[in-house]
Amino acid sequence: MSKAAVAERKIIHIDADCFYAAVETREDPGLQGKPVAVGGNERQRGVVATCNYEARSWGVHSAMPMAQALKLCPDLIVIHPKMDIYRQVSREIHAILQDYSDIIEPLSLDEAFLDVTASENCHGSATLMAQEIRSRVWQELRLVVSAGVAPNKFLAKIASDWRKPNGLFVITPAEVDEFVLQLPVTKLHGVGRVTAQKLERLGISDCATLRKFEPLQLIKHFGKFGERLWQLAHGRDERPVEANSRRQSVSVEQTFNQDLPDLAACLAQIPMLMESLNKRLARVGEEYRIDRPYVKIKFHDFTQTTLEQAGALVSQERYAMMLSAAYARGNKPVRLLGLGIRLEDLQGQAQQLELPFD
């Protein structure tokens, strides 16, 4: 796709505010104005899946251990997740989105990208569509969603977060350059803690500074991702909205109420984990082929490691060998174990092979 075509895109990112907690408050109005967190039991080492802004004002946030959240906010109301309800509400939101575009890429139950470039709704105005979507979700479902409108996915996602909660922010093509210049590098897609620290050591804290570096300089420091950094610093993102995202892996994880003290205790969990993994694998269609197995370990101090092996057979013995090697990297009590399988998408390959003959 040409750069001109990319520049003409109209992308909306929709993000439901505090989704699980908002659904719970809608179902029980008595929770209105009170700090609410949805997640696991603190006695079973649960974590916060999401929380409302009343809870956030106390310092509570997603992925925080529930026990810590309760220390910060003793009046926190903890609700066990009701995933069936959340999935149903998510479907209802997506039914509204489908009135505006057939090109929708769900990221999770509570957020999605829409490519409305060719949509004739609202006289073709992406801004008006975003306003209408937000209004309809509130009127029909009594839930609040924030929206970002921009020429690409990278900027649309940033925009949806710009005026949260209950916000709408628009970045027009003419405003991209000025907007991106002010962005801290931590806002760039794919920049995590380690990359941010490396950028900081180079004296790079914002996109204005990042732009002073040539692509080859960034590639030298960050490999292939260096070119991506350069593109994002200029507000460029050519990724299309993928309406039919394909599965890349299948996995199971188990967080334990008490730490597993040693390798033997970890190895004893493999049969149970494999039974669950095989059940999930049985639901994977024939358009996928098993590629390589992997294991994931999260130690008691929340450090984690993943190990995978190309060309390896999926067996209990193979997982035991991989788990032993991964455990040796930390050699300390274990909080979470996971087994998984990377998948090869045969259908996607077939579609790519067909392209030259179209």
What CATH number is given to the structural domain containing 264? 3.30.1490.100
Confirm whether residue 345 is marked as ligand binding.
Answer: no
| Shared-domain flag, residues 193 and 330 | no
139 and 17 belong to one structural domain? yes
Q: Known binder of ligand: residue 102?
A: no
- Claim to verify: residue 268 and residue 343 sit in the same structural domain: yes
Residues 132 and 214 in one domain: no
pTM for this predicted structure = 0.70
Residues 56 and 188 reside in one and the same domain: no
Q: How far apart are CA 159 and CA 168, in angstroms?
A: 8
What residue numbers bound the domain in which 259 lies?
A: 249-350
**Angle (CA) 172 102 357, round 5°:** 100
Give the whole-angstrom CA distance, residue 251 versus residue 325: 19
Task: Quote the longest CA-to-CA distance of the chain.
Answer: 64
Please tell me whether residues 17 and 111 are part of one structural domain: yes
175 carries an active-site annotation: no
Looking at residue 25, what is its pLDDT? 96
In this predicted structure, what is the pLDDT of residue 268? 97
* Whole-number CA gyration radius for the chain: 23
Specify the 3-state DSSP secondary structure of 189: coil
- Residue found under tokens 């294991």: 295
- If asked whether residues 35 and 145 sit together in one domain, one would say yes
CB 293 within 8 A of CB 341: yes
Question: Which of 171, 188, 204 is the last residue before a domain boundary?
Answer: 171
- Residue at 162 is within a domain: yes
Same domain, 163 and 209: no
User: Same domain, yes or no, for 19 and 165?
Assistant: yes
Last residue of a domain, one of 119, 142, 171: 171
CATH number at residue 198: 1.10.150.20
Query: Are 62 and 120 contained in the same domain?
Result: yes
36 is a domain residue: yes
The pLDDT assigned to 190 comes to: 86
List Cβ neighbours of 189 (8 Å cut-off, separation of 6 or more). 154, 157, 232, 237
What is the model's pLDDT at position 304? Answer: 84
Among 111, 175, 287, 354, which one carries the catalytic annotation?
111
Residues with Cβ < 8 Å from 259, sequence gap 6 or more? 300, 333, 334, 335
Residue 244 placed within a domain: no
pLDDT of residue 351: 44
As given in the structure block, the two tokens for residue 13 are 């990112």
Tokens 């274990």 correspond to: 334
CB 10 within 8 A of CB 171: no
- Pairing assessment for the beta strands 111-115 and 11-16 based on DSSP bridges: antiparallel
User: Do 161 and 183 belong together in one domain?
Assistant: no
Q: Provide the pLDDT for residue 358.
A: 29
pLDDT at 245: 61
Phi, psi of 77 (to 5 degrees): -95, 115
- Is 358 a domain residue? no
Structural domains in the chain (count):
3
**173 preceded by a cis bond (ω within 30 of 0):** no
Is 115 a member of any domain?
Answer: yes
In a domain, 105, yes or no: yes
Same structural domain for residues 25 and 125? yes
Give me the average pLDDT of each 10-residue run along the chain (358 residues). 57 96 96 95 86 97 93 96 93 92 91 94 95 94 96 96 94 95 91 90 93 91 90 92 77 88 97 91 80 91 86 87 96 94 71 39
Q: Give the pLDDT of residue 45.
A: 78
Among 151, 171, 191, residue at a domain's last position? 171
CATH number for the domain that contains residue 129 = 3.30.70.270
Would residue 239 count as lying in a domain?
Answer: no
Tell me whether residue 326 is exposed, middle or buried, using C-beta atoms within 10 angstroms of its C-beta: 0 to 12, 13 to 18, 19 or more. buried
CA distance 205 to 86: 38
Residue 242 lies in a domain: no
